[in-house]
Amino acid sequence: MAKQITIDAKGVHYTPLNQQIRKAIDDGADEIVINNVLGQRFIGNGLRGNAVIRVNGVAGGDLAMFMSGPTVIVHGNAEHAPGNTMDSGKVVIHGSAGDAVAHSMRGGKVFVRGDIGYRGGIHMKQYEDQRPILVVGGSAQTFLGEYMAGGLLLVLALDGVMNAREIGSGIHGGEIVIRGNVDESRLAAGAKKMPLTDEDRARIAPVIREFAADFELDAEPLVNADYTRIVPASARPFAGKYTWE
């Protein structure tokens, strides 16, 4: 039987709150429900294991930073950099999130139903079987996928126009897939557009279906929609800049 522990975060500072979460995991909780969250930072920070943490309210900055395993589901918005330097596990945000979402994320998934701020997916990187995935339901702002070194960044633009410009500046690995056409002028130097092949579509389809299931959306129209795939123009964006003494 799954063990559920409920924590009331009302008026609680993030350090004691995180201590309560850690204690709940040590006590064998499979599911931790945190109510009345109002901007407490660092929830799920550095946590291991496979518990599910439900955050009811607005999560503060660096949600699930360095996290390795658990699933965090936020029924609300999240502030700056959820999934920062995250190793594995999953973050599901039913609202929108701030800047630098999934910054330097190394593995696992971050799903945001709403919009994200600037520099989404910045410097995401992959290694062997660790391949981070960021999916945004709404829009993303400028410098999307900056310095991206690996993984998949998918923007579904479900709520209308996608705002990002300077997409993929300094990208040297991974792929950015955006629903609909993205004008060349929105790409930064170092990024290039590629057609989405059937193989690519087959690869992203399970991700779209998982996202759709999490947010109760109809998956198939999204799976079959038109996408723009953006990849590095070169794996060595700075190679031509330097000479030796």
Contacting positions for other proteins (CB under 8 A):
14-15, 18, 41-42, 45-46, 48, 61-62, 65-68, 80-81, 84-85, 87, 100, 103-104, 106, 119, 122-123, 125-127, 130, 146-147, 149-150, 170, 172-173, 235-245
Residue 56 or 68: the one with the smaller Cβ distance to other proteins is 68
Residue 74 or 212: the one with the smaller Cβ distance to other proteins is 74
Residue 12 Cβ vs other proteins, minimum distance, rounded to whole Å: 14
Place of tokens 């929830």: 43
Residue 223 Cβ vs other proteins, minimum distance, rounded to whole Å: 28
CA pair distance 103, 109, nearest whole angstrom: 12
Residue 142 or 217: the one with the smaller Cβ distance to other proteins is 142
Residue 85 Cβ vs other proteins, minimum distance, rounded to whole Å: 5
Supply the DSSP string of 168-214, one letter for each residue: TTT--EEEEEEES---GGGBPTTEEEE---HHHHHHHHHHHHHHHHH
Residue 9 Cβ vs other proteins, minimum distance, rounded to whole Å: 15
Residue 208 or 237: the one with the smaller Cβ distance to other proteins is 237
Residue 86 Cβ vs other proteins, minimum distance, rounded to whole Å: 9
* Residue closest to 37 by CA, chosen among 82, 76, 94: 76
Residue 134 or 212: the one with the smaller Cβ distance to other proteins is 134
Maximal C-alpha separation, the chain: 66
CA dihedral sign, ordered 22, 24, 28, 29:
negative
Q: Are 113 and 133 in contact (CB under 8 A)?
A: no
Residue 84 or 141: the one with the smaller Cβ distance to other proteins is 84
Residue 146 Cβ vs other proteins, minimum distance, rounded to whole Å: 8
Q: Are 76 and 55 in contact (CB under 8 A)?
A: yes
Residue 136 Cβ vs other proteins, minimum distance, rounded to whole Å: 17
Tell me which amino acid residue 189 is: A
Any idea of the CA torsion for 205, 188, 126, 69, to the nearest 10 degrees? -70
Residue 129 or 226: the one with the smaller Cβ distance to other proteins is 129
Q: Mention every residue, 6+ apart, whose C-beta is less than 8 A from residue 59.
A: 37, 39, 40, 43, 72, 74, 76, 77, 78, 79, 82, 93
